[in-house]
Structure 1
Amino acid sequence: MGKNKIKPAFRTLQVEYAIRDIVEASEEAKKRGKDLIYLNIGDPVKYGFKTPKSIIEAVCKALQKNYNSYSESSGIPEAIKAIEANALKKGIKPVDIYITQGASEAIEFAISALVNSEENILLPCPCYPLYQAIVSKFRIEARYYLLDENKNWEPDIESIEPLIDKKTRAIVIINPNNPTGAIYSKETLERIVEIAKKYNLVILSDEIYDQYILEDNLKYVSIASLSDEVPVITFNGLSKNYFAPGFRIGWGIISGPKDLLEDYIEAIHKLARTRLCAPHPLQYAIPVALNNENHYIKEVIQMLRRRRDILVEGLNQIPFISCVKPLGAFYAFPRLEIPHIDDLEFTKKLILEEGVVVVHGSGFGQKPGTKHFRIIFLPEEKILEEALERIERFIKKLIS
Structure 2
Amino acid sequence: MDLSPIKPARRTENIEYAVRDIVLVAQEAAKAGKELLFLNIGDPIQYDFDTPRHLIEATYQAMLERRTGYSASEGVDEAIEAIRQEARAKGFEPADIFITSGASEAIDFALTALVNEGENVLLPFPGYPLYTAIVAKLGAEARPYYLDEEKAWQPDIDDIVRKIDEKTRAIVIINPNNPTGALYPRETLEQIVEIAREHNLVIMSDEIYDKLVFDGREHVSIASLARELPVVTFNGLSKCYLAPGFRIGWGMVSGEWDLIRDYIEAIHKLARARLSASHPKQYAIPPALQGEQDHIAEVVSRLERRRDLTVEMLNDIPGISCVPPEGAFYAFPRINLDISDRDFVCDLIRETGVVVVHGSGFGQRPGTAHFRVVFLPPEEVLEKAYARIREFMKRYLR
Secondary structure of 1:160's counterpart equals: helix
Q: Identical aligned pairs, as a percentage?
A: 61
Superposed displacement of residue 350, structure 1: 0.3
Q: How does 1:318-333 map to 2 (within 5 A)?
A: 318-333=317-332
Question: Structure 1: which amino acid aligns with 2:188?
Answer: T
Letter in 1 for 2:47: Y
Residue 172 in 1 paired to residue 183 in 2? no
Say whether the 8 Å CA contact 2:48–2:378 is kept in structure 1: no
Are 1:239 and 2:238 an aligned pair? yes
Q: Partners of 2:218 and 2:101 in 1: how far apart?
A: 29
Paired residue secondary structure (2:147): strand
* Distance in 2 of aligned mates of 1:145 and 1:296: 35
Query: What pairs up with 1:1-400 in 2 under 5 angstroms?
Result: 1-216=1-216, 218-339=217-338, 341-400=339-398
Letter in 2 for 1:14: N
Code of the residue aligned with 1:397 in structure 2: it is R
- Structure 2 residues without counterparts, runs of 5 or longer: none
Distance 1:356 1:8 in 2: 34
Question: What secondary structure does 2:370 align onto?
Answer: strand
Letter in 2 for 1:260: L
1:232 aligned partner, one-letter code: V
User: What CA RMSD, in Å, does the superposition of the two structures yield over aligned residues?
Assistant: 0.7
Find the residue that maps to 1:142 and give its secondary structure: strand
Q: Distance in 2 between matches of 1:198 and 1:338?
A: 40
> SS of the residue aligned with 1:184?
coil
Deviations 1:305-355 (A, max 9, x none): 01110111000000000000000000000000123x210000000000000
When normalised by structure 2's length, the TM-score is 0.99
- Separation in 2, partners of 1:373, 1:47: 20
Supply the AA of the counterpart residue of 1:167. K
Say if 2:223 and 2:231, in contact at 8 Å, map to a contact too.
yes
Distance 2:50 2:173 in 1: 28
Deviation at 1:79, TM superposition (A): 0.4
Match of 2:95, SS state, is: strand
- Whole-angstrom distance in 1 between the partners of 2:5 and 2:318: 49
Deviations 1:23-77 (A, max 9, x none): 2210110011000000001000100211111000000000000001110000000
Deviations 1:98-145 (A, max 9, x none): 000000000000000001012111001111010011011111111111
Gaps of 5+ in 1: none
> Within 2, Cα distance between the matches of 1:261 and 1:177?
26
What is the CA–CA distance in structure 2 between the aligned matches of 1:294 and 1:270, rounded to whole Å? 35
- 2:238, 2:248 within 8 Å by CA — same for their partners in 1? yes
- Residues paired across the two proteins, number: 398
Q: Which amino acid aligns with 2:355?
A: V
Q: Tell me, yes or no, if the aligned pair for 1:92 and 1:225 is still in contact at 8 Å.
A: yes
Question: What is the distance in 2 between the residues matched to 1:192 and 1:293?
Answer: 34
Cα drift, residue 2 of structure 1: 2.2
Counterpart contact for 1:197–1:229, Cα < 8 Å:
no
1:180 is paired with a residue whose SS is coil
Q: Please list every run of at least 4 consecutive aligned residues from structure 1 whose deviation after the TM superposition is greater than 4 angstroms.
A: none
State the distance in 2 between where 1:228 and 1:399 align.
Answer: 52
The separation in 2 between residues aligned to 1:72 and 1:86, in whole angstroms, is 21
Query: What do residues 221-240 of structure 1 show as CA deviations (whole Å, max 9, x unaligned)?
Result: 11001121211000000000
Distance across 2 between alignment mates of 1:383 and 1:228: 44
Distance 1:164 1:308 in 2: 35
User: How far apart are residue 293 of structure 1 and its match?
Assistant: 3.8
